[in-house]
Amino acid sequence: MLLSTVFILRPRAAGTLPLTQGKAIHAWFLRLVQQHAPSLAAWLHGQERRKPFTTSPLQGMFTRQGPSAIVDPAHTYWLRVTSLHADLSALLLALAAAPPALVRLFQVEFELLTVATQPQEHAWAGQSSYAHLYNRATAEPPAAQATVEFASPTVFRSQGRNLVLPLPRLLFSSLWEGWHAFTPLTLPPGLLPLLSTELDLLRYTLHTQMGDFGHYRQVGFVGSCTFGLPRRRAVEVLRGMQLLLEAAFFTGVGYKTTMGMGQVRCLSQAHQDTPEVGALAFAR
C-alpha cells in the first residue's frame, strides 16, 4: 500500500525551532518506528540506496525570528509521512488508530491531535497502491498536460552536482527510480528516454529557497510547473507522465526526501483530444 499520513499537532507552549526541521522530523519518525516495530526499524536503517518513506517540513503559522521559527499554542501545525512499503504502511495506519500523545521536535513538545489518512481529512493525506495507479493510467484517456506543485525545496543530484530546475530528464529519472524501488510492476525500459526527451517544461512559477540542515545548507526550488507535449500526441508518453506524477505524491522527488525535501503533488491535468490506442504495455 502507498500511504500518506498527516500528523496534526498543537504545541503545548510557545517554543522556538530552527527554520529547517528536516533532521529532527526524520529522527523522530525513526524513533517512533523503533518503539513500535524494532525489526522494521532495523530494516529501514539497512536500506542503503532509497528509503521507503518521505517526510515533510513542519507546516503552519510561524513567527520568524532570525534563523528560528516560533510556534504558538493558539495555532495547529502539521507534518507528513508517506510510506512506499506494506509493512510500514500497516504500522502508520495502526498509529493513526491509536496515536501517541506527544511529538517532540528539538525542545518543543506538541500534542498530537489526530493523524489523517484520507484526502477528505487533509489535502495531503491519502492511500493508493502501485496497481491502482497503473490501472488508472492505462484505462483513462491521458491528459496532454499536467501541472505539478513542488511544495518543499527540491533539488536533483546529477553527475555530482546539485541542480535546481525541474528539467524533464531530471524529474522523470528521479520518479522512475522511485517507482521501481519497491514494486514488481516494472515499466518498459524504452519509456524513460521518451519521458526525458519528448516532454517539455511548458510553464513554471518557481523560486529558490534555502534549507539549513545544521552542518550544511542546501538550496532548492519551490513553486509549480506544467509539463506536456505541446505538439505531437504520443499517448504512451502521456500515460507514463500521468502515472509517475501521480505516484510522486507518495514517492517524493529528488534529493533528501526523507528530510522534508521534494514534496510534490499534481494540481491539474488538462485533457485534450488524443488518439485512442491500446493501453501502454507496462511489464508486470
User: In this structure, are 138 and 245 located in the same domain?
Assistant: yes
Position 48 scores a pLDDT of 79
CATH number (domain holding residue 252): 3.30.70.1900
Do residues 112 and 147 both lie within one domain? no
- Give me the number of domains the chain comprises: 2
Half-sphere exposure of 13 (CA within 13 A, CB side): 2
Counting Cα atoms < 13 Å in the Cβ hemisphere of 62 gives: 19
Query: Would residue 126 count as lying in a domain?
Result: no
Do 137 and 111 share a structural domain?
no
Residue numbers of the domain that contains 105:
2-116
pLDDT (0 to 100) of residue 282: 30
Which 3 state secondary structure label does DSSP give 101? coil
- What pTM value is reported for the model? 0.91
Do 41 and 106 belong to one domain? yes
Q: Produce one character per residue of 66-98: b if its CB has 16 or more CB atoms within 10 Å, e if not.
A: eeebebbeeebbbbbbbbbbeebbebbbebbee
Nearest to 2 by CA among 70, 114, 75, 81: 81
Describe the crossing of helices 22-36 and 86-97 by its angle, rounded to 10 degrees: 90
Spatial distance between the Cα atoms of 186 and 284, rounded to a whole number of angstroms: 6
| Distance spanning both ends of the chain, measured CA to CA | 17
- Helix residue ranges per DSSP H, the chain: 22-36, 38-46, 86-97, 130-139, 168-180, 191-198, 235-251
| CATH label of the domain that carries residue 40 | 3.30.70.1890
C-alpha torsion 15→152→29→98, nearest 10: 80
Alpha-carbon Rg for the chain in angstroms: 19
Is residue 283 included in any domain, yes or no?
A: no
Residue 192 within any structural domain of the chain: yes
Q: Report the chain (284 residues): mean pLDDT per 10 consecutive residues.
A: 97 91 92 96 88 95 86 96 97 95 93 96 96 91 92 91 94 96 93 94 93 78 93 85 96 94 83 34 30
Amino acid symbol at 40: L
Q: Are residues 110 and 149 in the same domain?
A: no
pLDDT given for residue 64 in this prediction: 86
